[in-house]
Structure 1
């Protein structure tokens, strides 16, 4: 059965108990493909979850959803609005993408094989920072003249190289929390020094991933081709995004979807602790997916040929969308997001999805680092030919000395929490400047931060 892409709004209505009362043909076809029909509970776990959450909280939610069909995955932007007697669903963007079959795992990445690999020893945490570097056995176990320093980033020392099929064993192993072997890498400071990396995951007593412990085996020096004069430097291979999609996004998407299905208990009741474990898995999966998205964006914006679309956008509308997307996260921390009023509008020139991405990042940061029981306001204004939208929190603010440093790659101002990759603000500013705008920080120290996105006025 073929379900086409639908650029128009696709609607459905659910009763308070989750029964699908009505649905436009695409959603009805998806419901039937899942083995259900009208008059019974909706059988698409992701849609059931967002509808149930909107009904329980009594607020309108907007978020991206990935659902599976016979031919692949469907990316949807879903809006769930509580109404008398139920919840209405509106899908404002419905796009299909085929599933690429994962390569067959032939067992070569088992932990015992990775643990016995030759070379010098290293250990990293889940944030990809070195925790330990030790000599191994034999000549191959000798440390390099300039070994990595504990606390430094893995990516600042090693640069991963794809295999003949364009795959990266380490990325796949990290996504699946499994051992890997034979990952090719070169030193970031010396592309002629090549290594073969093998490693296995380590876990704490509760089963949470702690990091990886592995070995680095030196290979024969590679011959580095001279750089052609005036040829732009490509920091990432052009097909890097495709590899990420195959090696990380698709496995993570299926992990999240299956965990959501278990947590929603659609196949029957579960012990509360089991349902909680599934929910934790889904949360962890989404965190990893966010890191993957940051890596993909970093790959894109650092390429010499990166460009954005110039289209008319409404900053007030995008502010409301971003606020709706983060409403649940804010409620969990007892933070109120105050979006632009429903009748507010401010037209600017930029790329719709990139502006939304920036605002989600800015509001998400404000929610993450603001004290509980405070407000995050999103306000629009016009000034000197620029359309501006500000995200204002009631936290401690950003010291003037740090207001440029915070936009540097991997900079987190000493924070040691697990949230974020240190790439969000770097990516956001690069995107804003690519659209002819900028992001600056205002607000007095100790009185909250004010992140201001400015874009050219439309027309």
Structure 2
């Protein structure tokens, strides 16, 4: 049993298999009666009853913070529900009153809420500022391994900068156990600047338990949002949807989907304790479905962006060999799960080109991900670099079943799928990748035949250096 803080009143109760309250200590009985229930009847406090049903269905003990209505007040409770042979055993502690009415948010709070809603990606930490959650899309978009960052100090990912007063807003917030906005930092290893903001979390005893935070890119690729920034004009570049539609959809879905994926992964991995094998499998299915939906959101946002008349990419000096190694690293876990090996360029190899780092990484993650998906178990994906005069080529080759000549045009079409019955994405990945390659002054082509695997060639302009 979990240790209970003696300062928190504890009330124990029991439910039968149908969810009826069979007996309880007086504090819990009184709360249930004020909610309209009685001993021998179904538990009338919906938040506690829901937790009890979940514990019984999963066959495991569940502990969770809940807010329950109690007359004109709300009560903050910590509930532990444990399934037994007779039903469910409840332990209810905390019993902290919370005002049912909340004063209107101040202007700084409203600005902070806007900042989080418009963020590029989300993160969470524990009380020691170790990373416990990262939006799944963060690493793929910005060139780091999200899974490797879990459990690492926040400063492993961000190099924090002092404000004009010489202070670090995040440390001031830790000391005050308060929210903060406007912490500038460098995303380590990329030279890209970000702005961080977060709200504190507390445990059942009211102690500081970490931050729930958001990140917004503030370099030239993604300027920092402001509360007064106007929405894009209501043009409709594709499908009849206004430009702002995909942005609003992105904001509405990205955070919840990332949470669903993270929690489903946690259940599947049984990090909080054992669950029935069937439920671990269900959780893994939920995580996979969440990743699929998040990929569709990414594709929709990118599709609407690249089809705008004014779409452009940055012209940055980048090392294509480094980008290829990063893309291969991001897909290493997926490849290992499929028993596929990725042969990346050697660490000493460099390949100077001109393009946009984030977009080049996006193209290569798509190509390598496809190669892994269609490779047989025990297969290999090769990444090779070649130069042809003023152009540089990165070649991604696999040992899959190959693509027939008549299908090679189709795979680059919008929503183009050779075999819709096969597992895969939305049919937008290669269409978007080719549009991005051409926007950067390059191209994306394929060379393949049935039974001979596929060979995708991503081209960008060569960048002359002192050595080339």
Aligned: 1:326 with 2:392? no
Partner of 1:373, secondary structure, is coil
For the aligned residue pairs, the C-alpha RMSD in angstroms reads 3.6
Partner of 2:125, secondary structure, is helix
Aligned: 1:382 with 2:372? no
Match for residue 368 of structure 1? 373
Partner of 1:44, secondary structure, is strand
Taking the TM superposition and a 5 Å limit, the aligned residue runs for 1:98-137 are none
Match for residue 30 of structure 1? 125
Aligned: 1:91 with 2:173? no
Indicate conservation of the 8 Å contact 2:339/2:377, yes or no.
Answer: yes
Indicate conservation of the 8 Å contact 2:260/2:287, yes or no.
Answer: yes
Indicate conservation of the 8 Å contact 1:46/1:260, yes or no.
Answer: no
Structure 1 CA distance for aligned equivalents of residues 360 and 353 of structure 2: 10
Q: What do the CA deviations read for 1:432-453 (whole angstroms, capped 9, x no partner)?
A: 0000000111245532211000
Return closer, same or farther for 1:328/1:320 CA change in 2, 3 Å cut-off. Answer: same
Taking the TM superposition and a 5 Å limit, the aligned residue runs for 1:34-433 are 37=128, 44=132, 64=138, 77-78=144-145, 90-91=156-157, 93=187, 95=194, 234-235=237-238, 236-433=241-438
Q: What do the CA deviations read for 1:339-393 (whole angstroms, capped 9, x no partner)?
A: 1111111011111110111001111111111222111100111112101100011
Q: What do the CA deviations read for 1:91-129 (whole angstroms, capped 9, x no partner)?
A: 2738567799xxxxxxxxxxxxxxxxxxxxxxxxxxxxx
Partner of 2:157, secondary structure, is strand
Indicate conservation of the 8 Å contact 1:312/1:347, yes or no.
Answer: yes
> TM (normalized to structure 2)?
0.52
- Unpaired runs of at least 5, structure 2: 1-108, 116-122, 159-186, 189-193, 200-233
Return closer, same or farther for 1:250/1:233 CA change in 2, 3 Å cut-off. Answer: closer
Shift of 1:300: 0.6
Partner of 1:239, secondary structure, is helix
Shift of 1:405: 2.3
> TM (normalized to structure 1)?
0.53
Larger Rg: 2
- Unpaired runs of at least 5, structure 1: 6-26, 51-62, 67-74, 101-230
Shift of 1:318: 0.9
Indicate conservation of the 8 Å contact 2:250/2:301, yes or no.
Answer: no
Structure 2 CA distance for aligned equivalents of residues 79 and 394 of structure 1: 28
Q: How many residues align?
A: 273
Indicate conservation of the 8 Å contact 2:363/2:433, yes or no.
Answer: yes
Structure 1 CA distance for aligned equivalents of residues 143 and 351 of structure 2: 26
Return closer, same or farther for 1:403/1:267 CA change in 2, 3 Å cut-off. Answer: closer
Partner of 2:393, secondary structure, is strand
Shift of 1:238: 1.9
Shift of 1:264: 4.2
Match for residue 131 of structure 1? none
Match for residue 134 of structure 1? none
Indicate conservation of the 8 Å contact 1:80/1:87, yes or no.
Answer: no
Structure 2 CA distance for aligned equivalents of residues 310 and 76 of structure 1: 18
Shift of 1:334: 1.3
Shift of 1:401: 2.7
Q: What do the CA deviations read for 1:235-256 (whole angstroms, capped 9, x no partner)?
A: 3412123211233222212212
Structure 2 CA distance for aligned equivalents of residues 377 and 88 of structure 1: 34
Structure 2 CA distance for aligned equivalents of residues 267 and 391 of structure 1: 40
